[in-house]
A = this chain, B = another copy of it.
Amino acid sequence: MQHAPAPALDDPALDVVELTRRVCDTESVSGAERALADAVEAALRSFAGPGGHLEVLRDGDAVVARTRLGRAERVLLAGHLDTVPLADPPNLPVRRERHPADGDVLVGRGTCDMKGGVAVQLVLARETAAALAAGRAPQRDVTFVFYDHEEVEAARNGLGRLARNSPQALAADFAVLLEPSSAVVEGGCNGTLRAEVTTTGRAAHSARAWRGSNAIHAAAPVLARLAQYVPREVEVEGLVFREGLNAVGISGGIAGNVIPDRCTVTVNHRFAPAFSAAQAEAHVREVFDGFDVRVTDAADGARPGLHLPAAAEFVRRTGTQPLPKFGWTDVARFSALGVPAVNYGPGDNATAHADDERCRVDELERCLDVLRGWLLGAGEVA
C-alpha cells in the first residue's frame, strides 16, 4: 500500500493539540499502522538525541522508549496507535471546533480512541528526554509503549506480542493505559467471557411438526433465564464493578418450512475482577444448568490495585475519585504480567468508534499536566 509521508512528530514546538491532530491525520486503521509507527519511532529517536536519554525498541509496528536510570521504581505509559475504520464520509482530517456541550474539541477518527493519549505520551517522552539532557533526572524510570492492533482480535494485539517477544520491555511497577476515561482514573476492568448455549431438536417438515422437535422453542427457558437475570455488583478494593450477562446473538432455522433442529444463543458475561475466568465460566454454567454450554473465549479482568503506593500517589495527583472500568481493556494484560495498571486518558469513551468521535481540548491538557507533574515533578519543566 502507498502512504503519503507522515508529518514529522519531533518538532519541539508542537503542543499536545497539534500533535494530536498530526497523529490522527496519519491514518492508521488496524493493520495499517506502519507510517504512524515509523513517525513515532523517528520522533522518539530524535528526542533520545546523541546522549541516548531514551532507549528505543521496535517490534513490528510497536515502539517502546524508556529511560535507564536504575531507579528503584519504574512506571509505564501505554497507548495503541491503531483506530477502527474511518466513518463514511471519512471523519478525517481532524477539525477543531466548538461543541455545544463539550466546548473546544478536536473532532475526527482517533481523537478520542486514543490518539489524544498517544500525543500526550509523545509530549512526555520529549520532555523527559529534555529534562535528562538538562541534568534534571526524574525520580522514577519511565517506559513509553506505543502499539498496534488493539482494535481487532486479541491474537493480533501488539501489546500481547510485545509481552511474548520482549516481556522485559514491559517490566514496570505500575502502568497507566491512556485509553479514554474523561481524564478520570478508571481502576482495573471487568473480565469478559463468551459462550454458546445450544439447544437441539429433530428436523421435520413444518406441515407435520409433530414428527420433529423444535430447537427454537426449546430455547425459551434460555431467554427467560437471561431476561430474569439480575447482574451482580461486586466491590473490589473499594470500587463497585457492575457485571452483566447478555445475549449478544441468536440463530436458528433451516428453511421456512422446516422444524429447526438447532438454536444457538451467544451470551457475553462481563464479570468483576474478584473472579477468575474459570469462576465466571462456572457461574455461566450454573445459570444455564441443563443446557449445552460451550465457552468460546474468556479473558480475566484486572483488579484495580489502587492501594499500591505508586497507584495511590497517581490517583491523588489526578485529583479525581477513581471509578471502576466496566469494559475489558489492555490493563488486564498488564495485570496478567503482574503489573498493576489503571486507565487514565483524555476523551469520553462514549464517543469512541462513533462517527462524531471527538476529544475535549481541556482534557488533553489536563491529562498532560497531571502526568507531567507525576513523572517530572510540577513546575520543573521548561
A252 CB to nearest B CB, Å = 5
CA distance A220 to B194 in the complex (A): 20
Contacts of A247 in B (CB 8 A): 214, 216-217, 252-253, 260
In the complex, the answer to whether A250 meets B250 with C-beta atoms within 8 Å is: yes
Interface string of A225-264 (1 = CB under 8 A from B): 0110001000000000010101111111111111110010
Report the stretch among A158-166, A200-208, A358-366 that lies at the interface.
A200-208
In the complex, the answer to whether B192 meets A244 with C-beta atoms within 8 Å is: no
Known: A244-B207, A257-B268, A263-B250. A224 touches B216 (CB 8 A): no
In the complex, the answer to whether A223 meets B219 with C-beta atoms within 8 Å is: yes
CA distance A214 to B248 in the complex (A): 8
The listed residue (B216, B231, B265, B327) touching A265 by CB distance below 8 A is: B216
* Residues A294-314 near B (CB distance < 8 A): none
In the complex, the answer to whether B206 meets A244 with C-beta atoms within 8 Å is: yes
How many A residues touch B, CB cutoff 8 Å? Answer: 45
Cβ-closest chain B residue relative to A327: B207
Known: A207-B192, A208-B327, A223-B220. A252 touches B255 (CB 8 A): no
CA distance A231 to B209 in the complex (A): 10
User: Is A80 in contact with chain B by the CB < 8 A criterion?
Assistant: no
A218 CB to nearest B CB, Å = 7
The listed residue (B216, B217, B227, B266) touching A217 by CB distance below 8 A is: B227
Question: How many protomers of this protein does the assembly include?
Answer: 2
A243 CB to nearest B CB, Å = 9
A261 CB to nearest B CB, Å = 11
In the complex, the answer to whether A327 meets B268 with C-beta atoms within 8 Å is: no
In the complex, the answer to whether A227 meets B218 with C-beta atoms within 8 Å is: yes
In the complex, the answer to whether A217 meets B207 with C-beta atoms within 8 Å is: no
The listed residue (B194, B208, B216, B248) touching A260 by CB distance below 8 A is: B248
User: Is A47 in contact with chain B by the CB < 8 A criterion?
Assistant: no
A152 CB to nearest B CB, Å = 12
CA distance A190 to B250 in the complex (A): 30
CA distance A263 to B209 in the complex (A): 23
In the complex, the answer to whether B248 meets A255 with C-beta atoms within 8 Å is: yes
User: Is A334 in contact with chain B by the CB < 8 A criterion?
Assistant: no
Contacts of A206 in B (CB 8 A): 244, 246, 248, 268, 270
CA distance A231 to B254 in the complex (A): 22
Contacts of A210 in B (CB 8 A): 242, 244
CA distance A14 to B244 in the complex (A): 71
User: Is A326 in contact with chain B by the CB < 8 A criterion?
Assistant: yes
Contacts of A216 in B (CB 8 A): 223, 226, 247-250, 265
A278 CB to nearest B CB, Å = 20
User: Is A328 in contact with chain B by the CB < 8 A criterion?
Assistant: yes
CA distance A139 to B113 in the complex (A): 85
CA distance A207 to B251 in the complex (A): 22
Q: Can you list 15 A-B contacts (CB < 8 A)?
A: A206-B246, A206-B268, A207-B244, A208-B326, A209-B231, A217-B223, A217-B227, A248-B254, A248-B258, A248-B259, A249-B252, A249-B253, A250-B250, A250-B253, A256-B266
Interface of A toward B, CB cutoff 8 Å:
190, 192, 194, 205-210, 214, 216-220, 223-224, 226-227, 231, 242, 244, 246-260, 263, 265-266, 268, 270, 326-328
7 smallest A-B Cβ distances: which pairs? A249-B253, A220-B223, A207-B327, A216-B247, A209-B244, A217-B227, A220-B227
- Could you list 10 further interchain pairs (A-B, Cβ under 8 angstroms) beyond the known A209-B246, A246-B259, A248-B254? A207-B244, A207-B270, A208-B326, A210-B242, A216-B223, A216-B248, A217-B227, A219-B223, A248-B257, A249-B252
